[in-house]
Structure 1
Amino acid sequence: MDTINLLPPIQVLSERLLARGWQLATAESCTGGLIAAACTELSGSSAWFDRGFVTYSNQAKTDLLGVSEAMLATHGAVSEAVARAMAEGALQRAGVDISVAVTGIAGPTGGSVDKPVGTVWLAWAVRGEPSTARCCLFKGDRAAVRTQTCEMALSGLMDRLA
C-alpha cells in the first residue's frame, strides 16, 4: 500500500479528530494493521490515534474485542454482526471516541459463493451513537482489496467527523 497517497486524507482526519479532542482506535482483520499504519504515517498522530487491534483470527476477535464465539459461529467472521461487534469492542476496550473495524476476504483464497474474494464488512462506532456498517465487494488482487478497504475505512471515518 502506498501510504503517501493517503497522507492528505489522514491530515484531514487528524484535523477533524483534534478539533473535537477525540481519540481513534482501529480493529482490523483482513488489512492486518494497514489502517493503523496509514494513520501513524503522519507525524504527531499520537495526539489522536490511540491504538490498533489486529485481530486476524477468530480467537483474537474474541480475546481482544469481546466478539462472542456464538456470533462467529452463527454469522461467520466476515459479517455485519462481527464487524459491528469489532468496532464496538474497540471503542469500549480502548476507551476512545470513535473506531473503525474491517473484516473480509482479501484472497486469492478463502472465498465462497456467498462470500466471494473481495467481500469486506466495515463498521464504525462513535461513542453514544449506534454503530453503522457497510458491505463492499472490492475488485483486484489481495493488495488491491486491502488498499481499497483501508481507503473506505478512512473515508467512513471522515464522513462521521464531517
Structure 2
Amino acid sequence: MENLMKAAVMQIDEKVLTACGKFFQTHGLKLLCAESMTAGYLSTLWSLEFNSGDYFLGSLVCYDNQCKTKLLSVSKNKIEKYCAESAVVTLRMLDGLSASSIPGADVFISVTGLAYKTNNPRQKREVGTVYYAFQYRKEKRIYKKQFSGDPSTILMQTCNSIFRDLIAWLPTVIKKAEKHISSNMSKID
C-alpha cells in the first residue's frame, strides 16, 4: 500500500499542468521562474506541457546562495538572518526576478525549501518545509507548505502544489486587474 501511495504522489498532475498551460496561452501571458530547492525540476515539468513553448520563458536556477545574491540581488544579510529557505528570501528572489532584464514576462514564480536535512545550524525549519511565491503585475502571493517523504517526493509534491495554487490564484488576480482597468476607463469617459 505504501508503494502505491508513493507512486501516486510521484506523478505529475498533468490535468492541472495542462490547465495552467491553457490559461497562459489563452491570456497571452509569459512565465519566468527562479528556483532554489527545485534546481530546475519545475522548469522540466513546465517544458512537458504541450504549449509551454508559447508561454514559458525559462527559469534561473539559484541553488547556491551566491546565485541568489549575484543574479537576483538578494541581500546576503537577508540570507544570513533568515536562511536561504525562508519566506523572506523567497520574496526577495521574486523581487529580483521581476526586476530582471528579461523582457516580456508577466507572471513570476520563486521557490525555496528543504528537501533534505541541511548543515546550517541556524536553520530551524523541518525537512519538507517549502516556500513559493507568485507575482502578476504588483500582486504577490506567498505560500508556505509542509510536505513529507524523500527528496524526490518532496520535489514532486512541491511542483504539483505550485501548479494547483497558481491556477487557483492567477484567474482571480487577473480578474481583479481587469476590473481595476475597466473602472479607471469608465472614470475617463
Q: TM-score, normalised by structure 1?
A: 0.89
Find the partner of 1:24 among 19, 31, 40.
31
C-alpha contact 2:32 2:59 (8 A) present in aligned 1: yes
- Partner letter of residue 52 of structure 1? S
Check if 1:56 corresponds to 2:63: yes
- Partner letter of residue 108 of structure 2? S
**Alignment partner of 1:5: what SS?**
coil
CA deviation after TM superposition for structure 1 residue 76, in Å: 1.0
C-alpha contact 1:122 1:135 (8 A) present in aligned 2: yes
Q: Which residue of 1 aligns with 2:149?
A: 140
C-alpha contact 2:10 2:153 (8 A) present in aligned 1: no
- Partner letter of residue 137 of structure 2? R
Alignment deviations for residues 17-75 of structure 1 (CA, whole Å, 9 cap, x no partner): 12221100111111111111111112331210011111101111112212111211121
CA distance in 2 between partners of 1:146 and 1:74 (Å): 25
CA distance in 2 between partners of 1:97 and 1:153 (Å): 17
C-alpha contact 2:12 2:160 (8 A) present in aligned 1: no
Q: Which runs of 5+ in 1 are unaligned?
A: none
**Alignment partner of 2:12: what SS?**
helix
**Alignment partner of 1:26: what SS?**
strand
Find the partner of 1:70 among 77, 80, 84.
77
How many pairs were matched up?
A: 160
Find the partner of 2:168 among 155, 159, 162.
159
CA deviation after TM superposition for structure 1 residue 4, in Å: 6.5
C-alpha contact 1:105 1:116 (8 A) present in aligned 2: yes
Q: TM-score, normalised by structure 2?
A: 0.77
CA distance in 1 between partners of 2:153 and 2:51 (Å): 28
- Partner letter of residue 104 of structure 1? G
- Partner letter of residue 117 of structure 1? V
Q: Which residue of 1 aligns with 2:111?
A: 102
Q: Which runs of 5+ in 2 are unaligned?
A: 1-6, 172-189
- Partner letter of residue 21 of structure 2? S
Judging changes above 3 Å, is the alpha-carbon distance between structure 1 residues 4 and 148 closer, same or farther for their aligned structure 2 residues? closer
CA distance in 1 between partners of 2:93 and 2:137 (Å): 14
Q: Which residue of 2 aligns with 1:125?
A: 135
C-alpha contact 1:10 1:42 (8 A) present in aligned 2: yes
Check if 1:83 corresponds to 2:90: yes
CA distance in 2 between partners of 1:25 and 1:3 (Å): 24
Question: What's the RMSD between the two structures over aligned residues?
Answer: 2.1
**Larger CA Rg, structure 1 vs 2:** 2
**Alignment partner of 1:77: what SS?**
coil
C-alpha contact 1:17 1:161 (8 A) present in aligned 2: no
